[in-house]
């Protein structure tokens, strides 16, 4: 994986500390063109990996990338799924079975019946495979070498103790897409412990890692020890703690954790993207 990964929170009005900033971001990025302009800024500064949810707008971004193969020949996208709000809204509007049918790939009656039967039987692993396939349709023809399970599902599964779900997800991602599975979580030490028990070795885990322990379940010290002592591939996100830490201080802390493989950040201006990229490179050298 690349050392620096560009994220998408700023595009979809996600700000963990400020509703006012979220509203401003929603207004600025109400068009796909505005998103692509910022992605191009990051790309032109040398960032080649974009990690994103499966928001409907991302499908339009993927269309743009496919339409410009020379421009984006070495561009990678790391999809994170499911996009929970999309499914929650659909279930509210259509009901569970109809919502599942709407998101399944293709329109074949057999696939729809399979999905409905899986729901009735509460076959969550089969439903997961169907929904992953549906979400991945928008990324066809694009390099998706790592595919992530979103933390809203990862941490729910952790809490329910349904550990075999992680194995099934990993196997499906490897077999169907030739990609590596990744897991986003708010409890990195526990996630790693469970994955090791289930035989998933050297896993890719994305989690909040920052100087003040923001959204680090189990505590900062536990994270530091896990990163230093265990064999896995951590990706640090929320390194600025939603703006509570100054960039230089934030990057100095994260880059001091020597086994962190990648750092994920989001920004919406050329100056901030450039500053963050240069800080990571300076602190990593």
Per-residue pLDDT of the chain (285 residues), as tens digits, is 999 999 999 998 665 555 666 677 778 888 999 999 999 999 999 999 999 999 989 999 999 999 999 999 999 999 999 876 666 555 566 665 565 566 655 544 444 455 555 554 457 888 889 889 989 999 999 999 999 999 999 999 999 999 999 999 999 999 999 999 999 999 999 999 999 999 999 999 999 999 999 999 999 999 999 999 999 999 999 999 989 999 999 999 999 999 999 999 999 999 999 999 999 999 998
Q: Domain with 231 in it: what CATH number?
A: 3.20.20
Helices vs. strands in the chain: H and E counts, helices first:
13, 8
Lookup: tokens for 81 = 């799924």
In-domain check, residue 106 = yes
Domains in the chain, number = 1
In-domain check, residue 253 = no
Give the pLDDT confidence score for residue 107 in this predicted structure. Answer: 44
In-domain check, residue 192 = yes
In-domain check, residue 95 = yes
DSSP secondary-structure letter at 139? G
DSSP secondary-structure letter at 73? T
pTM of the model: 0.88
In-domain check, residue 269 = yes
In-domain check, residue 272 = yes
End-to-end CA distance of the chain: 17
Contact 202, 232 (CB under 8 A): yes
- The range of the structural domain enclosing residue 193 comes to 4-246+261-277
């Amino acid at each position: 994986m690349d050392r620096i990964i560009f994220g998408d929170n700023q595009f979809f009005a996600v700000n963990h500390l400020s509703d006012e900033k979220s509203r401003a971001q929603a207004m600025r990025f109400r068009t796909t063109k505005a998103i692509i302009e910022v992605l191009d800024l990051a790309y032109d500064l040398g960032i080649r990996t974009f990690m994103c949810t499966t928001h409907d707008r991302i499908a339009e971004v993927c269309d743009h990338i496919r339409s410009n193969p020379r421009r984006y020949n070495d561009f990678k996208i790391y999809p994170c799924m499911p996009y929970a709000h999309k499914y929650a809204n659909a279930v509210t509007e259509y009901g569970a079975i109809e919502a599942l049918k709407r998101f399944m790939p293709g329109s074949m009656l057999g696939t729809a019946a399979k999905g409905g039967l899986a729901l009735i039987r509460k076959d969550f692993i089969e439903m997961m495979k169907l929904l992953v396939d549906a979400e991945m349709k928008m990324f066809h023809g694009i390099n998706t070498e790592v595919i992530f399970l979103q933390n809203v599902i990862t941490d729910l599964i952790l809490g329910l103790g349904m550990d075999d779900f992680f194995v099934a997800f990993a196997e499906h991602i490897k077999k169907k897409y030739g990609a590596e599975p990744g897991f986003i979580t708010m409890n990195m030490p526990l996630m790693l412990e469970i994955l090791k028990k289930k035989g998933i070795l050297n896993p890719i885990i994305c989690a909040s890692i920052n100087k003040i322990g923001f959204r680090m379940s189990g505590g900062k010290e536990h994270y530091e020890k896990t990163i230093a002592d265990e064999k896995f591939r951590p990706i640090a996100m929320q390194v600025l703690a939603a703006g509570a830490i100054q960039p230089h201080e934030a990057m100095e802390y994260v880059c001091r954790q020597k086994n962190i493989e990648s750092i994920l950040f989001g920004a919406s201006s050329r100056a901030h993207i450039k500053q963050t990229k240069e800080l990571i490179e300076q602190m990593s050298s």
